[in-house]
Amino acid sequence: MSALVVKTLLQAPEPDGGDRQRTATLLDAMPFPLLLCDSAGRPTRWNPLLSELLDTSADVARSGVDGAAVDAIAEALPILVDVCSALLTGQASPRSVVTFRTAAGERVFELDGGLCRDATFAADEVVVALREITAERTLSERLQAAHDEIVQFRYHVSHDLSAPIASARGLLGLIEDDLRSGALEDLPELLEETEAQLTRLQRLIADLMSLARVSGEMQQPEAVDLRDLVDEIVASIGLHTRELEISVTLSFDSPNLMIDRVRLRQILANLISNARKFQDPEEIAPYIHVSVEDDGDDWLMSVTDNGIGMDRLTAERAFDMFTRGSSAHPGHGLGLHIVLKHVDRLGGSVSVGGLSKPTRIDVRLPKKPHCCATEPERSGSD
């Protein structure tokens, strides 16, 4: 324990009487934020790492400043009073975790305390070290999220796989009865419904295969012609039919991107397909617009449409697994989740940029390919 190490050093005999300077030297030498408190839990001394973390001045013993810095630390660490009280009364120090919002983002620390007897001051003091657990907390949260996702996945998949099979089996039983009795008037409708159930099952299997491929190996970045890619996607998902004619347009700051083509195709295909699915039947001129803008170190890609849109609650959960935009439309709620997974693998982020008229999904991807970056970076319906 870091605090106990400091406690032992502070209690070591110092023949030359330079305890005050020795304490300051030890505090400064510690590779983590650390402070000493009096019996009331008020900070008395601390090292530069704590000053930097909390943006305060040096401790009073060395700088002679007023109590503003002490107040600032006490306000930032209100748990100090409980920690010191427990240690001074012989109780176990409560496990205390504090979170600070810094310019570099959220940082999480665990407080670790111990008693010490400083030769310069007659009263007992408490030494408190702040051990950073940001990485541990992040990993723990990701593991919990992964576990929750697996539980949810098993529940939905088991239901969505069994439902069309059970329906198709029941329909086949009805068809068999009709064939035996010679009552064939309902046969076309029963066959059509059976085919619909099997198609639903086929789509679910295809979505699950796409989701499974997300965790596959990253491909080497290659120059991808955006116009050719969008034309290929439009042709493959049938945006131009006798019943439906959707205008698809493309604008870009650069005609080519250096990126994993397979993942980019899956991202755009799912977003364009999603926009097609939720077109507004009352719209006279339905459209889907794909834009790619140069935004410094990133490419900002947006897919915009004038479809039925989504409400705010759906938007908040749009990229979660099995979130469906509408029960009136086919699908299993995996399309946008697959987009999120691919974007994460590419080191980018995805969000809902507009709810309705237009509805817009924004994807931000780093120009430097994720597989080649020295420090990989990392934002929920179909």
- Which CATH number fits the domain that encloses residue 232? 3.30.565.10
Judge if 69 and 166 occupy the same domain: no
| Per-residue pLDDT at 162 | 75
Average pLDDT over residues 89-118: 78
- How many domains, in total, are found in the chain? 3
Nearest residue to 336 via CA among 281, 380, 285, 286: 380
Name the percent of the chain lying above pLDDT 90. 12
DSSP letters spanning 141-160:
HHHHHHHHHHHHHHHHHHHH
Judge if 373 and 243 occupy the same domain: yes
* Spatial separation of the C-alpha atoms in residues 369 and 39, rounded to whole Å: 54
Contacts of 123 (CB under 8 A, 6+ apart): 38, 39
Nearest residue to 341 via CA among 288, 298, 301, 379: 379
Residue 300 has pLDDT above 90, yes or no: yes
User: What is the residue range of 200's domain?
Assistant: 134-214
Residue 270 has pLDDT above 80, yes or no: yes
| Per-residue pLDDT at 40 | 83
Task: Name the amino acid, one letter, at 39.
Answer: S
Residue 168 has pLDDT above 80, yes or no: yes
**Of 78, 105, 132, which residue is a domain's last?**
132
pLDDT in tens, 301-316: 999 999 888 888 888 8
Instruction: Give whole-number Cα distances, 265 to 233, 234, 360, 368, in Å.
Output: 8, 11, 18, 18
For 163, phi and psi rounded to 5 degrees? -60, -55
Give the pLDDT band of residue 360 (cuts 50, 70, 90): very high
| Per-residue pLDDT at 376 | 39
> 172 near 194, Cβ under 8 Å?
yes
Task: Name the amino acid, one letter, at 312.
Answer: R
Question: Of the given ranges (8-22, 35-49, 55-69, 280-294), which has the lowest mean pLDDT?
Answer: 8-22
pLDDT in tens, 188-243: 888 888 888 888 777 777 766 766 666 667 778 889 999 999 988 887 776 555 45
- Strand stretches in the chain, DSSP E: 34-37, 43-46, 96-102, 105-117, 124-132, 222-225, 247-252, 256-259, 287-295, 298-305, 349-355, 359-366
* Spatial separation of the C-alpha atoms in residues 283 and 308, rounded to whole Å: 9
Which has the higher per-residue pLDDT, 349 or 281? 349
Per DSSP, 186 falls in state T
Contacts of 276 (CB under 8 A, 6+ apart): 237, 239, 244, 246, 288
| Per-residue pLDDT at 63 | 52
| Per-residue pLDDT at 194 | 85
**Of 132, 157, 191, which residue is a domain's last?**
132
**Of 168, 199, 214, which residue is a domain's last?**
214
Which has the higher per-residue pLDDT, 155 or 316? 316
pLDDT in tens, 132-150: 888 888 888 878 877 776 7
In degrees to the nearest 10, what's the CA dihedral of 370, 375, 379, 380?
Answer: 50
Question: Of the given ranges (59-68, 187-196, 334-343), which has the lowest mean pLDDT?
Answer: 59-68
Judge if 209 and 258 occupy the same domain: no
Judge if 320 and 377 occupy the same domain: yes
Judge if 190 and 273 occupy the same domain: no
Which has the higher per-residue pLDDT, 160 or 84? 84
Which has the higher per-residue pLDDT, 168 or 290? 290
Question: Rounded to a whole number, what is the distance in angstroms from the first to the last CA of the chain?
Answer: 49
Question: Of the given ranges (113-122, 188-197, 313-322), which has the lowest mean pLDDT?
Answer: 113-122
CB under 8 A, 24+ apart: contacts of 237-243: 237/269, 237/272, 237/273, 237/276, 239/272, 239/276, 239/288
Residue 291 has pLDDT above 90, yes or no: yes
Residue 67 has pLDDT above 80, yes or no: no
The two tokens of residue 143 are 């593991």
The two tokens of residue 288 are 């889907």
Average pLDDT over residues 275-291: 88
Mean pLDDT of the chain: 78
Instruction: Give whole-number Cα distances, 11 to 23, 43, 119, 168, in Å.
Output: 10, 19, 8, 78
Contacts of 67 (CB under 8 A, 6+ apart): 60
> 161 near 200, Cβ under 8 Å?
no
Judge if 147 and 52 occupy the same domain: no
Judge if 59 and 190 occupy the same domain: no
Q: Which of 32-46, 111-125, 302-316 has the highest mean pLDDT?
A: 302-316
* Spatial separation of the C-alpha atoms in residues 54 and 106, rounded to whole Å: 13
| Per-residue pLDDT at 370 | 57
Judge if 227 and 360 occupy the same domain: yes
| Per-residue pLDDT at 44 | 81
Judge if 246 and 314 occupy the same domain: yes
User: What's the chain's Rg over C-alpha atoms?
Assistant: 31
Judge if 245 and 306 occupy the same domain: yes
Judge if 127 and 9 occupy the same domain: yes
- Whole-structure pTM over 0.75, yes or no? no
Q: Is the peptide bond before 330 cis (omega within 30 degrees of 0)?
A: no
Residue 377 has pLDDT above 70, yes or no: no
CATH assignment of the domain containing 174: 1.10.287
| Per-residue pLDDT at 136 | 87
CATH assignment of the domain containing 28: 3.30.450.20
> 364 near 303, Cβ under 8 Å?
no
Residue 289 has pLDDT above 90, yes or no: yes
Judge if 99 and 159 occupy the same domain: no
